[in-house]
Structure 1
Amino acid sequence: MSYLNQNQTPLFSALKDYHQRNVIPFDVPGHKHGKGLMEFTEYVGSTIMELDVNSMKCLDNICNPIGVIKEAEELAAYAFGADHGYFLVNGTTSGVQAMIMSACQPGDKIILPRNAHKSAIAGIILSGAVPIYIQPEVNEELGIAMGVTLESVESTIGRHPDAKAVFLINPTYYGAVSNIKDIVKVAHRNAMAVLVDEAHGAHMGFHDEFPMSAMELGADMSAVSLHKTGGSLSQSSLLLLREGIIDPFTVKKNLNLMQTTSGSYLLMASLDVARKQLVIDGKEMLDRVLRLSRGARDRINEIDGLYSFGTELIGAPGVYHFDESKLGVHVRKLGLTGFEVYDLLRDEYNIQVEMSDYYNIMAIISLGDTEESLNALVDALADIAMKHRREEEIKVINNVLKNPDVIISPRDAYYSNKRVIKLEDAEGEISGESIMAYPPGIPVVSPGERITKEMIEHIQMLKEEETLVQGTEDPYINYVRVLGLGMKR
């Protein structure tokens, strides 16, 4: 069939054809090819605005694709080794939510690691599922959570054989990969679907030296952020399905609950082209990513006080494999926190890394990086180590919180009556909202969980470091919403 020719870009080609026809628009969007928003159009360029169009016969419709979007989605599914592919214009968040809603009904159990993204908690609230948390492995020296072990998943399945799904992360924010292949086998033997948040793994299936993708390893569904590591525009992602446990119609129905009816053609066309690029040029481009990341690691590890961790972690608990495009740097021995180094890089060297925590910073090396950009980062880190080092190292503290006590389901907590109290007075209360640093968007506490002293201290530390903390009604996190009177137990 011609549409399986990966050199083709059916949606992008149709969009270019529409543009060349110079159609006179009497539909939405109201800026009418940019003429109604000239200040913006003059800055970003007329072509972008002329391609920002609405659904029409020649361009298909994301809610019920039967034309060029369908062809583009089928190409994407084939490229990623899935039976079905669905374009996402609400980010991987909508894909994660649709996965959970497709696998779980109200009251169903879902097994997942506690370092899952906030979108998984939102999916649990929307579906009415009950979370069964697995404690991810923790590297105490680095102060970060890794993946989950096969043994911990098996043990949890043994205690909860009625669970409907197992939810995994491939890879974690810092690059750790779990033994997904064997976890899939165990889950399937127990008739459980395997759902994978692959937000940071869009590239992995296109080069043999990266960990394998969820679809290659037999997962039932995965949500893939092509915009993070695959080259497409921000907010564009892909949902993948392997037929069997989960019905394609159910997935489509849930996606149409989650997504806009006015899908951005700029986002969807970028998915079409990014898929083609990964298939045709991905091996060569990812060769460069590996060369750049390995070279940067070697140079960083020559700087006194810095440690850029990588594949040497393989074999440690929760690290079955490692994604080398995640350039994590442990900075504690400089006497600086990761938060401080993050700010120094941005404010003094004009370099923006992906995220930081108390001990580390993390830079993502991807398709658009160059020797020059990596040299700038390494040189800046060397300069920071020379100019800003403190004599006393940052002390090791408990930087990774353990699994919380889930008192009621996130959905019940979300809809329960609540009251507002000071953060410092919240110990022992049941949270009515999520609190997280973003990035990475992993909740410190989620609705329905008991708030502990350690959680409060961790949130206060994040505030002191001026980290972007979100999720609460109070934007300054001085007050939190907890369940109403009589719910503290």
Structure 2
Amino acid sequence: MDQSRAPIMEALENFKDMRIVPFDVPGHKRGRGSPELTKFLGQQCMTVDVNSMKPLDNLCHPTSVIREAEELAADAFGAAHAFLMVGGTTSSVQAMILSVVKRGDEIILPRNVHRSVINALVLTGAIPVYVNPQMNDRLGISLGMSVADVKAAIEKHPSAKAVLVNNPTYYGICSNIREIVRLAHAAGMKVLADEAHGTHFYFGENMPVSAMAAGADLASVSMHKSGGSLTQSSFLLCGPSMNAEHVRQIINLTQTTSGSYLLMVSLDISRKNLALHGKEIFRKVVDLTTYAREEINALGDYYAYGSELINGDTVYDFDTTKLAVNTLDVGLAGIEVYDILRDFYDIQTEFGDLGNLLAYVSVGDRERDLERLVAALADIRRRYKRDKATLMRQEYISPQVVAGPQEAFYADKKAMPLEESVGRICAEFVMCYPPGIPILAPGERITRDILDYIRYAKEKNCMLLGTEDPEVNNLQVIRGVVSPE
């Protein structure tokens, strides 16, 4: 296919020339009704913030330009079909899961998944079979799924409908997705991949294998992360085993009927850019992260880790575009370095957890930006270094699952102070965001270790989300249920 085309952009360009008088939504009428917003975003943006109409197709049932954009995306990603998603990768992940499981079905997955995965289990009533990831104790991060652990889960739960894989994790860790696909398919199970952080796997050179190339059935790809499209725009990719029109029906259960053409055209243009120039773009990204990793490691105390972590199993491969830095030997939690960089150096990184910092390097970064980050980290080490003895390491605590997420979320529940909740069954989420991996999810036992983690995260000023109580002083628990440790 002609990857130099961008059908949605072309349709919008033609639409601007038509001089249509708008008696439809949106009500700002090409910006005239909201001059302050138009001044802030620009006339060009407001002119193409339009609604579905015949010349522009309809996201819910595309037959022309959006359908062409989907076909080009599928071709570029090596998929049988691709869907433009305007609800972020959260909606893509949820549609992916809703397409293969229903109430009571089992799905095998790592516990260090994004909240959107467990949200989908709340919606469907499916039952998670968790494969607890192993840990790298030095870094305090969870790794990929061991093939042996996945094999054991498949053998123990032969009626499970699917296996979900992170490809990669937020930290760049990749499981052996090819072998997991082989095992799952041999057992009659689908394979779903959360590739929120793996867009570049499809376009770069010498990258870890992409989900579609590995034979996965569905993959959710955050084009807005490493692909350059607008925030909240993503793709849902289908392999040849999936009924694409059934998947579209599932998407239409939850995705808006008023798809943003700003988001859709950004997907169209970004796909074109990566299809034509992806190798060159991601070669540059790898060069930048390699340079930064070497410079940061030369500073002392920081550890910017990379492909040396590969062990052939739980770290089957490593995404070298990820600039993840362990900060513990500086005596600072990752979230503390994150805050210092933003507040005193005007540098915004992707996230900091209890032991690590992630600087997201992608299509728009420059060498001088990396130099500024390295210099700031050197200055932070000089100014703020302290004893690390009191620092907590782990970003993940293995859960004790007592009830299914849907059952717990909709159970009769009550608020209970943190210090009184040990042994209770949680009925809501608790997570640090980013990355959005739950510390607690509905249906899991509240333990002292988890409460210590939550208190420590609050002390370190992590952004805790998911609870009804905005201060996270109370947790929603299932009323009347106590489960001793």
TM-score, structure 1 as length reference: 0.97
Count of aligned pairs between the two proteins: 484
1:171 to 168, 175, 196: 168
Q: State whether structure 2 residue 399 is matched by structure 1 residue 421.
A: no
Instruction: Summarize the alignment of residues 473-484 of structure 1 with structure 2, pairs less than 5 Å apart.
Output: 473-484=468-479
Give ranges in structure 2 of 5+ residues lacking alignment: none
Q: Is residue 161 of structure 1 aligned with residue 158 of structure 2?
A: yes
Deviates more, 1:373-382 or 1:263-272: 373-382
Q: 2:90 aligns to what? A: 93
Q: Give 1:198-347 correspondences, 5 Å limit.
A: 198-244=195-241, 246-315=242-311, 317-347=313-343
**SS of 1:301's equivalent?**
helix
The Cα shift of 1:171 comes to 0.5
Residue identity in the other structure for 1:207: G
Q: Does 1:122 align with 2:116?
A: no
Contact 1:401–1:455 at 8 Å: present in 2 too?
no
Per-residue deviation, residues 91-142 of structure 1 (Å, max 9, x unmatched): 0101111111111011000000000000000111111100000011210000
Report Cα offsets for 1:255-307 as digits up to 9, x if no partner.
00110000000000000011111110111111110110100111111002111
Q: Residue 70 of structure 1 corresponds to which residue in structure 2? A: 67
After TM superposition, what 4+ stretches of structure 1 lie above 6 angstroms from structure 2?
A: none
Question: Which secondary structure does the structure 2 equivalent of 1:63 belong to?
Answer: coil
| Correspondence 1:376 to 2:372 | yes
1:108 corresponds in structure 2 to 105
Give the match for residue 146 of structure 1.
143
Distance 1:32 1:179, change over 3 A: same
Shift of 1:485: 1.6
Distance in 2 separating the partners of 1:272 and 1:325: 23
Distance 2:2 2:225 in 1: 25
Q: Any idea what SS the aligned residue of 2:400 has?
A: coil
315-324 or 176-185: bigger deviation: 315-324
Match of 1:445 in 2: 440
SS at match of 2:286: helix
SS at match of 2:299: coil
Counterpart residue number, 2:407: 412
Q: Distance in 2 between matches of 1:316 and 1:284?
A: 28
What is the one-letter code of the residue matched to 1:265? Y
**Any conservation in 2 of the 1:337–1:394 contact (CA below 8 Å)?**
no
Equivalent residue in structure 2 for 1:53, among 41, 50, 54:
50
Instruction: Measure, in 1, the Cα distance between the counterparts of 2:482 and 2:166.
Output: 32
- Cα distance in 2 for partners of 1:309, 1:375 equals 18
User: Retained in 1: the 8 A contact 2:355–2:395?
Assistant: no
**Shift, 1:486, TM fit:** 4.1
Contact 1:205–1:211 at 8 Å: present in 2 too? no
RMSD, matched Cα? 1.2
C-alpha distance in 2 between matches for 1:332 and 1:487: 36
Question: Are residues 486 and 181 of structure 1, via their aligned partners in 2, closer, same or farther at CA, if it must alter by over 3 Å?
Answer: closer
Q: Is the contact between residue 135 and residue 402 of structure 1 (CA under 8 Å) also seen in structure 2? A: no
Residue 360 of structure 1 pairs with residue 356 of structure 2: yes
Distance in 1 (alpha carbons) for counterparts of 2:441 and 2:10:
44
2:185 maps to which residue?
188
Q: Give CA deviations for 1:433-471 in whole Å, capped at 9, x if unaligned.
A: 011011000000111111111111111111111111010
- Decide whether the 8 Å contact of 1:97 with 1:119 is kept in 2: yes
Change (3 A) 1:336 1:247: same
- Seq. identity, %: 48
* TM-score normalized by the length of structure 2: 0.98
After TM superposition, give the deviation of residue 243 of structure 1 in Å.
Answer: 2.4
Structure 1 residue 382 displacement after superposition = 1.1
Check whether the contact 1:333–1:394 (CA below 8 A) recurs between aligned residues: no
Distance 2:215 2:159 in 1: 21
CA contact (8 A) 2:331 2:391 kept: no
Q: 1:153 to 1:461 in 2, by over 3 A?
A: same
CA contact (8 A) 1:314 1:321 kept: yes
Structure 1 position 394, deviation (Å): 4.4
Structure 2 residue aligned with 1:137, among 119, 134, 138? 134
Equivalent-residue separation in structure 2 for 1:488 and 1:299 (angstroms) = 50
More displaced, 309-318 or 197-206? Answer: 309-318
1:413, distance to aligned residue in structure 2 (A): 1.1
CA shift, 1:317, in A, is 4.9
Q: Is the 8 A contact 1:88 1:94 kept in 2?
A: yes
